[in-house]
Chains A and B, each alone.
Chain A
Amino acid sequence: MKSWIRGTWVLAAKDLRNLFLSPLFYIITGLCTIVWTLVYFLSLQEFASQATMSQFGGPQGGPNLHFVVFAKHVSIVNLVMIFAVSALSMRLFTEEKRAGTMPLLLTSPVSATQITLGKFKAGVTAAWALLAISAVYPVSLAVYSSIEWGPLATSYLGLMLVVACYVGVGMLASSLTDNTVVSVIMALILNVLLWFVGALSEASPGGAVNAVFEHLNFGAHFVNFIKGSLSVASLVFFASVMALAVFLTQRVVESARWR
């Protein structure tokens, strides 16, 4: 068991190292922060103007920092992450195939499951590193004002789960092709698709099918986290999406032996 974990870790460490040593990660981070900074600045301004209005007899209680600023930030981070993670994960397998290093992995004493989990860990760690950078925005406000940490924390937990799903999907896409462009486009489309599967519930007339699609609604599960509530159903849902992506990727990796 110990050597099993070590094998996975060795693979993940190699990928992470190579990712953090390549310009790709920093380019993506740079572009992401441009978008986040812009939107964050605008929502802070909106909050300021709402706060000013409430001082002069606006609606009671004043604006809510969490919903006006943080919730918006979280949804923008999520949107940007669809693109960023697709780009981060595009090389996970395509690069191995392109460089001809897949035979090394396949002839090393590690299983296809370990290879896949190693890649997944590396991808998730990189994506979470990006999330940590995005968390600087809301957390820095703690210097100037009091923050409701609870909903912020659940929002970020939600983001961590959703982003891990994107990594899973991106990894699956990269295992299917040896072309990075095809991989990133496939990942993008599949990741966007995740958000529209739930919408099918509106098209179906109700009953069991409708209920199934409602449970597959990414948005509905994610909104719970933004509102500050943790539900086991949502945790299980996201975990299942990741598990499915890892499982399918593992099958693709294993199938390389049979071709």
Chain B
Amino acid sequence: MSGQVAQPTSGPAGSAQKSSTSTAPLMIEVKGLRKSYGPITAIADLNFSVRKGEVVGFLGPNGAGKSTTMKIITGAMAPTDGSVKVSGFDVFEDPIEVKKRIGYLPENPPVYGEMSVESYLRFVAQLKGVASANVGVQVERAIEKTDLGSVRRRLIANLSKGFRQRVGIAQALVSNPDVLILDEPTSGLDPRQVAEVRSLIQELKGEHTIILSTHILPEVQEMCERIIIINRGQIVAEDSLAGLTQRMQNSRSGLEVSVRLARPSAAVAQALGAVAGVTSVRLDAGVYKVQLTVNHMDAVEKLAEAAVATRAGLLELQHQAFDLEDIFLKLTANEDTAAVAAGGAQ
């Protein structure tokens, strides 16, 4: 957040992050992107843009086209059709200019086992065109940010998966690029390391424009300001987390409440069914799932009173709020069978 102020283009300091980024210039523009591998279409007509300083989560099931999209933005792959602009430069007309501005962490960290962490980062910095005088400084900065100081002289081949992944992140950071593209940055890490990487990305917010792909939902929830959900090569939703939740809430006509009782019985079910607004009650693994027609808390309160009045031993009453997982599942599952058919696309 502190980095936000340093941006000359962001709005007045102190204004909400959201409004400041909405006036920031476009950093990445993707238009009509299409990629097919022979008869298989990996991505079909993708359109989105990312503003400077934004952190965008790219979400989708495996094989949805996340990695393909990232490869195209970084110039590692050419699309079948469409255009990508990074910081105003077209990826296909000015690839060198674009690549100078991008740090990319592919699915597998691109490391050389026979090099030490430090010499590897030095190599990447030089390769990315960091001026000779700055190479040392940038390498130190990347090592410090990713907390690799303790292994800097070790051969990468001898490092654990978690450390290698961090070397991969350091590699993306080492040229201090405007845009960071991270393909599943936390894959293969243990929970503590995952937390570290998340806080690192939080730290990088504002300094860099970040796109990160993942299929781990809490990650997006925690780190991203905007979420793009992609399924079978198409964007199925694009909004902030709050916006998505709101949208799902609105699209839903009723509410489902789970009621767990110590002594479930048919009489209790009937009593619950008699509450105003309840359409159905079914027993699911010892828990009553009660459907309400209205999306209102008053009905939930009445239901609780009724449950207590039966004296069946109310243990738990929970109304289901939509979380990202539900949104994700709902948006991506309805075409499940078709998705399986195209599963080889990635």
Please give the distance in Å from A250's CB to the nearest CB on chain B. Answer: 15
CA distance A107 to B106 in the complex (A): 10
Structural contact, A109 and B76, CB atoms closer than 8 A: no
Contact bitstring A95-131, B, C-beta under 8 A = 1, else 0: 0000111111111111100000000000000000000
> B10 an interface residue at 8 Å Cβ cutoff?
no
Q: Which of A225-259 contact B (CB under 8 A)?
A: 257-258
Which of B125-133, B190-198, B284-292 is near enough to bind chain A? Answer: B125-133
Residue in A14, A99, A111, A257 whose beta carbon sits within 8 Å of that of B110 in the complex: A99
Q: Which of B105-141 contact A (CB under 8 A)?
A: 106, 108-115, 119, 123-124, 126-129
> A11 an interface residue at 8 Å Cβ cutoff?
yes
Q: Which of B75-107 contact A (CB under 8 A)?
A: 75-78, 95-97, 99-100, 102, 104, 106
- A-side contacts of B95, CB under 8 Å: 109, 111
> A60 an interface residue at 8 Å Cβ cutoff?
no
Structural contact, A109 and B123, CB atoms closer than 8 A: no
Structural contact, B100 and A109, CB atoms closer than 8 A: yes
CA distance A110 to B123 in the complex (A): 13
Residue in B75, B111, B114 whose beta carbon sits within 8 Å of that of A107 in the complex: B75
B interface vs A, CB < 8 Å? 71, 74-78, 95-97, 99-100, 102, 104, 106, 108-115, 119, 123-124, 126-129, 171
- A-side contacts of B111, CB under 8 Å: 99, 101
> A7 an interface residue at 8 Å Cβ cutoff?
yes
- A-side contacts of B104, CB under 8 Å: 103-104, 107
CA distance A258 to B37 in the complex (A): 10
Residue in A6, A99, A106, A107 whose beta carbon sits within 8 Å of that of B113 in the complex: A99
Structural contact, A108 and B114, CB atoms closer than 8 A: no
Structural contact, B106 and A108, CB atoms closer than 8 A: no
- B-side contacts of A110, CB under 8 Å: 96, 127
- A-side contacts of B123, CB under 8 Å: 10, 14
Residue in B97, B99, B109, B129 whose beta carbon sits within 8 Å of that of A3 in the complex: B129
Structural contact, A108 and B77, CB atoms closer than 8 A: no
Contact bitstring A1-21, B, C-beta under 8 A = 1, else 0: 001001100110010011001
Structural contact, A109 and B112, CB atoms closer than 8 A: no
> A145 an interface residue at 8 Å Cβ cutoff?
no
Structural contact, A257 and B128, CB atoms closer than 8 A: no
Please give the distance in Å from A121's CB to the nearest CB on chain B. Answer: 15
Structural contact, B127 and A108, CB atoms closer than 8 A: yes
Please give the distance in Å from B119's CB to the nearest CB on chain A. Answer: 8
CA distance A257 to B68 in the complex (A): 11
Q: By CB atoms of chain A within 10 A, which of B76, B108, B124 has the most? A: B76
